[in-house]
Amino acid sequence: MGEFDLIKRYFSRPARRAVLSVGDDCALLAPSPGQHLAFSTDSLVEGRHFLPTVNPALLGHKALAVNLSDLAACGATPRAFLLSLTLPRVDEAWLSGFAQGLWALADQSDCELIGGDTTQGPLHINITVIGEVPRGLALLRSGAQVGDDVYVSGTLGDARVALEVFRGHLSVPENVFSQARSRMEQPTPRLALGVALRGLASSAVDISDGLVGDLGHILKASQVGADIEIVRAMPLLACAPDLDLPPAQQLEFVLAGGDDYELVFTAPPHQRDAVVAAGIDSDTRVTRIGTLRAGQGIQLIDEQGHALAHQFKSFDHFA
Ligand code: ADP
Ligand code: MG
């Protein structure tokens, strides 16, 4: 099968909302009135972001999910995406699995594939997503204020539990592993929550490299510090009750686990009821874990209200 047959077979569908889709030199989109276009791109590299043995349908899902997570963090609605694939060979079983996982999430999130590129080489997947957000309503990293509450969506650290099991550093019961593994392999982009937080959250970012690191981006951009209450953060590790993990390790997974694809966001205290309502409306668990203060960096606060020394760091490809 040649390059063009491959594209036609697995990655072409008639245009839906796009003016022009796969098959020409460019795709064409008409922006909706009153909206800004939002762009983001993310790559997945074999051996770095996924294991060679991963189920291709799950990889198709994850490649798009991590990109949609960036749109969610901006409060944007998905419109379209571009797919650049570098493949070692044409493996039809792999391609049909990958395409199935990709299309399922694309349909579910109403995001259409409008173009891309296909070349030969070591397996590498790059997706660029395009979304829309009403002018002036994008959620940024820079809007947080001293006194705001800090919240996170969903659960944190479970993907890291799965990674540690794969690495042979941790052994957990089979049912716990399968749940943790699905958190690692099938993240849920928090798109509905992102939309519900428009005009409500003062800042937001998605958590891909760990809570401490990604919240750190908000703190830097907004020039504030944060107090995070350990008693509120610890229960975010969903599989903790089924495991015999020392508290320090639980805390590390929650604060610096990585691969969570949840949102961390801030909102003024008078918006607490509205934030709860946004969580309910979007069917997403939302937990308040701390507050912003003057200064910089993250301070962990224990049950007695004392500051706790910590050295949690986020994942950095070049550190
Ligand atoms: P060009 O030579 O102009 O770069 P290509 O030959 O790379 O175009 O691609 C032909 C058409 O197929 C283009 O419309 C391109 O957007 C689309 N395309 C290529 N690879 C993919 C892919 N993996 N998924 C979706 N569309 C693709
Ligand atoms: Mg090309």
Q: Which residues are CB-neighbours of 183 under 8 A, at least 6 positions away?
A: 155, 158, 159, 162, 238, 260
Is residue 78 within 8 A of residue 210, CB to CB? The reply is: no
pLDDT confidence of residue 251: 94
Residue 15 Cα to ligand 1 midpoint, Å, equals: 14
DSSP type of residue 234: G
pLDDT confidence of residue 315: 67
pLDDT of residue 252 exceeding 90, the answer is yes
pLDDT of residue 52 exceeding 90, the answer is no
Region of 287 please: left (phi>0), alpha (psi -120 to 50) or beta: beta
Confidence (pTM): 0.95
pLDDT confidence of residue 308: 87
Apex CA 97: angle with CA 95 and CA 99, to 5°? 65
The Cα 232–Cα 251 span in angstroms is 11
pLDDT confidence of residue 76: 98
**Domains of the chain listed by start with CATH number:** 3-134 (3.30.1330.10), 149-308 (3.90.650.10)
Question: Cβ-count burial of 228 within 10 angstroms (0-12 exposed, 13-18 middle, 19+ buried)?
Answer: buried
What would the pLDDT profile of 216-243 be if each residue is shown by its tens digit? 999 999 999 999 999 999 999 999 989 9
Q: What does the pLDDT average to over 84-95?
A: 96
Residue 117 Cα to ligand 2 midpoint, Å, equals: 5
Show the ligand 1 pocket: residues with CB < 6 angstroms: 7, 11, 22-25, 83, 85, 113, 115-118
Nearest-CA residue for ligand 1 atom 27 is 116
The Cα 69–Cα 260 span in angstroms is 10
Which ligand is in closest contact with the Cα of 86? 1
Nearest-CA residue for ligand 1 atom 26 is 115
Nearest-CA residue for ligand 1 atom 5 is 117
What would the pLDDT profile of 148-197 be if each residue is shown by its tens digit? 999 999 999 999 999 999 999 999 999 999 999 999 999 999 999 999 99
Which ligand is in closest contact with the Cα of 95? 1
Beta bridge partners of 72: none
Nearest-CA residue for ligand 1 atom 14 is 23
One-letter amino acid at 80 equals A
- Ligand 1: residue of 28, 113, 117 to mutate (most ligand atoms within 8 A of CB) is 117
The confidence band for 319, taking pLDDT boundaries of 50, 70 and 90, is: low
DSSP type of residue 26: S
Residue 116 Cα to ligand 2 midpoint, Å, equals: 7
- Provide the sign of the torsion angle of the four alpha carbons 22, 27, 32, 38, taken in this order: positive
Residues listed for the chain: 319
